[in-house]
Amino acid sequence: MKGVQSPARGRPSKATKPTAAPRSRPVRLPFPMPSPTNPEFEAHEGSALEVYHDPYQQHAQYQDHGDFDPEAAAAAAAAAAQYREQQQQRAQAQTRAQHQHQHQHQHQQQQLDLTAASILASVHLSRQLAAKTPARHANPTTTVSTNASFSTSTARRKEKGNGFFDGPVEPLSEEEAKANLDKTAEERKVDVSEAKSSSSEAPPSGNNSQGQGEAPDGKGSSAAGGASSGSSNNAPGDGGRRGRKSGADRALQKPVVPEVYPQVMAIPIAKRPLFPGFYKAITIKDPNVAAAIMEMIKRGQPYVGAFLFRDENADEDVIRDPADVYDTGVFAQITSAFPVHGETNSLTAILYPHRRIKLSTLIPPGAQDPKKNDTESEPVPEPIPPKTEDGVAQEKKGDVVASFEESAVATKPEAAAEKFEPTSFLRKYPVSLVNVENLAEEPFDPKSLIIRAVTNEIVNVFKEVASMNSLFRDQISTFSMSQSTGNVTSEPGKLADFAAAVSAGEPAELQEVLSSLNVEERMQKALVVLKKELMNAELQSKITKDVEQKITKRQREYWLMEQMKGIRRELGIESDGKDKLVEKFKEKADKLAMPEAVRKVFDDEINKLAHLEPAASEFNVTRNYLDWLTQIPWGQRSAENFGIQNAMKVLDEDHYGLKDVKDRILEFIAVGKLRGTVEGKILCFVGPPGVGKTSIGKSIARALNRQYYRFSVGGLTDVAEIKGHRRTYVGALPGRVIQALKKCQTENPLILIDEVDKIGRGYQGDPSSALLELLDPEQNGSFLDHYMDVPVDLSKVLFVCTANMTDTIPRPLLDRMEVIRLSGYVSDEKKAIADRYLAPAAKELAGLKDADVSLSDEAIEELIKSYCRESGVRNLKKQIEKVYRKSALKIVQDLGEDVLPESEALTEEGKAALNESEKQENKGKEPTAAAEASEKETTETPRVALKIPDTVHVIIGKENLKDYVGPPIFTSDRLYEVTPPGVAMGLAWTQLGGSAMYIESILQSALRPSSRPGLEITGNLKTVMKESSSIAYSFAKAFMAKEFGDNHFFDKAKIHLHVPEGAVQKDGPSAGITMATSLLSLALDSPVDPAVAMTGELTLTGKVLRIGGLREKTVAARRAGCKMIIFPEDNMSDWLELPENIKEGIEGRPASWYSEVFELIFPNLDREQANRCKICEQKRSKKENDAKEEDDHDE
């Protein structure tokens, strides 16, 4: 604000408001007295309106005028008091505003100071030490402070008259930059003050004595940065351009560097050396070196020697041994230094190398003279003499770098410039100092053909690299602009340095370029390094092109599709697809018979979808939900077939035997035919593996003409698999039941839930509990899936479950299912299944469908007896397939390639592919793109089945069966052909069917009168079976005492009872009568018939209880060659239900008490002999012997 002084100064200004009236002439108040809120009152506020503070004085004044009114005087007094109170409040508010404004100004000033400091700290160009011109030092008595590092504005104004600005130009000084900032802040302060004090008085404006606005401290500011620095004649300022040249002019100036600088601080460089004329930033981590650098900058001596480490992995900031670095380095100037962010003792310094130097002597850290380490008494550095005009002219041919300001080190008298060492102050720091000598290039002929040729080659390589690498292009452009001659070929030495500086070569190669003083040799070495850089650029370009070529096709297709979409959108041919999506969902919903509740949810979701943006995340969630909602077959059912004859035909085609299961299924279908539906039924097939539980479910679906869907819950631990996920989760899906409805597209499919007895339980929940709702006929009419969140009717779905046993099925779940048990197949059934189903399928699978290869009935029986004893036929199927595979191999090996040539097995496409591959192999080249595409399209060579000659005949019989499947796995279930006393055959049930189980009992030691009885049990028996052995032992002792009282065997016998196959865990109560028989056989010394097998639980009183698995145990007894089987009488119904082919050759004898079992086992027992006690006989014999000896002694 030119010409206006701050009101705080109290000086007059050009105020537009009227002058205040003196207090000696009070103004007469009008009546009635205006209120403070009256606009007239507001208009007079702060102007000439004044009121006496004393109401009596005001009263006297009005009385003197002759129109005194007491009431008016009282009103005036009240108004005056109110006005005084308001004035005090306004004064306090203004005071607070001034304090706040001062605080803001101080904060702004601090921010400006920090900004100025950061600007000065980040300046990349240091100040030079040499004097500017002789005119500046014409007056030897003019000095400045010894600690001033920069020239000031005061010195600039003092030297202005001496023609200082006619010489070299320097950048803006530190004081000038700070003055500019102060001036800007002062102007902002004035503007704010004027805005705040718009209602206060302002003195009239006028020009000050110096013609410039003063700063708050009373000093004039050197307005260097704007046009607001007016002069005494109110002329506009020069904007700080006086004494400064443009950026381009300053860039063409070279800093004045001392020619001779014998001793400098040495800084080692890692990885790559520095080259003259090219900046390099380094990081100093040694705090001593960092402190020394800051001291050097402070003293105006920012010069160091930079030498390359010989070891690439070295990481130090000092040189301890001259052998650690190369002796050729550069004399560099520290243009700027600033601390590393986040590290206190680290420093980043920017170096500008000036010339090559050679290391003469190293003064490692700690080797300085301690006497000279005191720098407090050091003299001030003597300024370096200014260069002559010839020197300055010679410097104009140097590198192009930004100019440096000179320091403000004052000229000292000649007497003070006694033997001064510029780097003597560094002796107090543990840094490495070196004595160096300058290295000059060897003279060369600029017109040398070799130099010109190498120069042209370097330029050509630069062009090639620049065409591949944009970074090189920018560096080359900068280097070309920096040449003073404008021609890069006129200075081959610098061109070689530039080539090495921008190349990523090995450190040793780059150091050789730096060490070469012969220009021709240096250029040739630089060319080698640059050639390697060109090879790297070509390789990088090749890799880039290869990658671009791979993705170009996909990018091109993407852009074309996007353009096509845009064109269609502009033509109105296609919208964003949301409208079509809504219409599609509505059309699908119109075809479905959705319940009312589901239709309401559908309408709500479709309206939401219509108002959502396609890019919204909720859009995809709603779209997926509507898709699932319209995929469920609401009201769509398949026509069912309740024909009994059709069902019998289907079941007989798919399965052999299983008469009881087929009858139960036919009953189920007959009930459905009478009712018209089979709703509310959940079947569960329980049986050993391989008996056809899963295939029966599929046959039922085929017989009823229902869609079939199967999923297994074995090991399932996540409830979401049954009831689905919440829609809030990413990737949520409905449960498996809803997925089954979507796949089958009917409301009445047959869903088979496999392995329901192996369902798991985890932290995600209990899936068996989720099945309760699914399999309950009273609840599944409105099944609620978590994802669908609408009731789904599953009452028309027929659920069939399979399990190997019912022990692990939860009781509530088992209660909801109708269990149908499937027993294992007997040998006759296995043989029939092998003949009808397994052998033909295996023969066709082995490629022997039309070949004369047959598997005899004896071989099948041998397979069933000696290789496959499980209840199912799964293992039998594997063995039959193995037989036919072995047969195919033998046929191919016997006939050879002449009868079955490989070429005849190929189709036309296969032959073409084979010929193409042979051509590629012959060429020995990489496959072309067309060949690769052909290989991708033809995943495998097409082939045809070869016809086996009619002369081939293969018959697999019992004799040669072991050549195909190896030796028998099972020899016989009968361990004993003749059983000794104490051995009895029992029967066991396993998941693979039934098996024979022997019980063995022996006497551990001979019977003596001194023996103690006992029972030891082995054979990997579990708790229930151990209890059965104890019960059998107690019952046997009681039975012997009752039936054979004179036999005291158990009173002195120590018995060991064992069950063979100790690796197999055994448990169950059905071996009770077998254990008791084994113990009684040992006690009576009478063997058991080996053709007799038994099973049944025994109580302490001798009662024989019911057992399970009679069918499997009967099959096992028949397989072991038994003629009689003893079982509980309670199982007589199970025995009668057994097919005659299973009972053929076996006599079944039921028993209710063990006495009946004893009579069947020992029919011809000599009771008199059994009632005799061996211990008693031994005692009687001993007494007779003793009596005889006494008689002989008496004689």
pLDDT digits (tens, 9 = 90+) for 97-127: 777 767 666 666 666 555 444 444 444 433 4
In a shared domain, residues 272 and 357: yes
Residue 585 lies in a domain: yes
pLDDT at residue 802, rounded to an integer? 94
Comparison of pLDDT for 254 and 662, the residue scoring more: 662
The sign one gets for the Cα dihedral 550, 553, 559, 565 is: negative
Phi-psi region of 386 (alpha: psi -120 to 50; beta: other; left: phi over 0): beta
Packing angle between helix 507-515 and helix 519-571, nearest 10 degrees? 130
In a shared domain, residues 398 and 493: no
Given a cut of 50, whether residue 390 has pLDDT beyond it is: no
Residue 965 lies in a domain: yes
Alpha-carbon distance of 49 to 59, in angstroms, equals 17
Cα 390 vs. chain centroid, distance in angstroms?
69
* 998 closest CA partner among 1011, 987, 1014, 1010: 987
Average pLDDT of span 526-548: 83
Query: What CATH number is given to the structural domain containing 684?
Result: 3.40.50.300
| Structure token pair of residue 961 | 């069966």
Question: Which of 16-25, 191-200, 379-388, 562-571 tops mean pLDDT?
Answer: 562-571
Residue 790 lies in a domain: yes
SS3 for 668?
Answer: helix
Average pLDDT of span 676-696: 85
Give the range of the structural domain holding residue 492, as residue numbers without chain letter.
449-545
Question: Which of 78-82, 436-440, 703-707 tops mean pLDDT?
Answer: 703-707
In a shared domain, residues 533 and 585: no
Amino acid letter for position 108: Q
Q: What is the dihedral of CA 403, 405, 411, 416, to 10 degrees?
A: -80
pLDDT at residue 466, rounded to an integer? 76
Query: Contact, 462 vs 468, CB < 8 A?
Result: no
pLDDT at residue 110, rounded to an integer? 63
Q: 866-896, pLDDT tens digit by residue?
A: 888 787 888 999 999 999 999 999 888 888 7
State the burial class of residue 665 (Cβ atoms within 10 Å of its Cβ: 0-12, 13-18, 19+).
Answer: buried
| Structure token pair of residue 753 | 């839930």
Amino acid letter for position 211: G
pLDDT at residue 1144, rounded to an integer? 86
Q: 431-451, pLDDT tens digit by residue?
A: 888 888 888 888 888 788 888
Confidence label for 574 from pLDDT (cuts 50, 70 and 90): low
| Structure token pair of residue 242 | 């006086």
pLDDT at residue 172, rounded to an integer? 46
Confidence label for 79 from pLDDT (cuts 50, 70 and 90): low
In a shared domain, residues 538 and 465: yes
Alpha-carbon distance of 225 to 217, in angstroms, equals 20
DSSP state of 899: T
Residue 525 lies in a domain: yes
In a shared domain, residues 811 and 859: no
Residue 588 lies in a domain: yes
In a shared domain, residues 316 and 392: yes
Average pLDDT of span 490-516: 83
Start-to-end Cα distance in the chain: 166
pLDDT at residue 52, rounded to an integer? 37
In a shared domain, residues 864 and 914: no
Comparison of pLDDT for 1009 and 210, the residue scoring more: 1009
Query: Contact, 986 vs 1031, CB < 8 A?
Result: no
pLDDT at residue 1058, rounded to an integer? 95
How far CA 740 is from CA of 677, 708, 737, in Å, comes to 20, 9, 5
Alpha-carbon distance of 987 to 973, in angstroms, equals 11
The sign one gets for the Cα dihedral 331, 335, 338, 340 is: negative
pLDDT at residue 624, rounded to an integer? 93
Residue 5 lies in a domain: no
- Beta-bridged to residue 798, according to DSSP, are 750
In a shared domain, residues 679 and 693: yes
* 28 closest CA partner among 71, 56, 62, 54: 62
How far CA 1040 is from CA of 281, 1082, 1171, in Å, comes to 108, 12, 9
Q: 784-816, pLDDT tens digit by residue?
A: 999 999 999 998 899 999 998 888 898 989 998
Amino acid letter for position 68: F
pLDDT at residue 111, rounded to an integer? 61
pLDDT at residue 901, rounded to an integer? 65
Comparison of pLDDT for 254 and 545, the residue scoring more: 545
Q: Are strands 280-284 and 708-712 parallel, antiparallel or unpaired?
A: unpaired
Sequence-separated contacts (24+) of 503-511 with Cβ below 8 Å: 503/529, 503/530, 503/532, 503/533, 504/533, 504/536, 505/272, 505/529, 505/532, 505/533, 507/271, 507/272, 507/273, 507/308, 507/312, 510/272, 510/273, 511/273, 511/308, 511/326, 511/328
Average pLDDT of span 455-475: 77
Residue with tokens 């600039």: 156
Query: What CATH number is given to the structural domain containing 310?
Result: 2.30.130.40
Q: Are strands 280-284 and 347-363 parallel, antiparallel or unpaired?
A: antiparallel
* 880 closest CA partner among 917, 835, 921: 835
Q: 891-950, pLDDT tens digit by residue?
A: 888 887 666 666 555 555 555 655 666 555 555 444 444 444 444 444 455 566 777 888
SS3 for 593?
Answer: coil
SS3 for 820?
Answer: strand
Domain count, the chain: 7
Residue 74 lies in a domain: no
Query: What CATH number is given to the structural domain containing 876?
Result: 1.10.8.60
Alpha-carbon distance of 459 to 469, in angstroms, equals 15
In a shared domain, residues 432 and 456: no
Confidence label for 76 from pLDDT (cuts 50, 70 and 90): low
Please count the helices (runs of H) and the strands (runs of E) in the chain: 39, 24
Instruction: Return the exposure string of 875-902: e unless at least 16 CB atoms fall within 10 Å of the residue's CB, then b.
Output: bbbebbbbbbbbbbeebeeeeeeeeeee
Residue 231 lies in a domain: no
Query: Contact, 237 vs 184, CB < 8 A?
Result: no
In a shared domain, residues 883 and 923: no
pLDDT at residue 83, rounded to an integer? 67
In a shared domain, residues 1137 and 1118: yes
Q: Which of these ranges, 387-396, 484-493, 581-590, 735-744, has the smallest mean pLDDT?
A: 387-396
Catalytic residues: 1070, 1113
In a shared domain, residues 728 and 836: no
Average pLDDT, the chain: 74
| Structure token pair of residue 908 | 């036309």
Comparison of pLDDT for 559 and 751, the residue scoring more: 751
Q: Which of these ranges, 147-161, 300-314, 642-656, 969-983, has the smallest mean pLDDT?
A: 147-161
Packing angle between helix 578-590 and helix 596-611, nearest 10 degrees? 170
Alpha-carbon distance of 1195 to 1190, in angstroms, equals 9
Average pLDDT of span 244-263: 55
Query: Contact, 840 vs 792, CB < 8 A?
Result: no
pLDDT at residue 201, rounded to an integer? 41
Given a cut of 70, whether residue 72 has pLDDT beyond it is: no
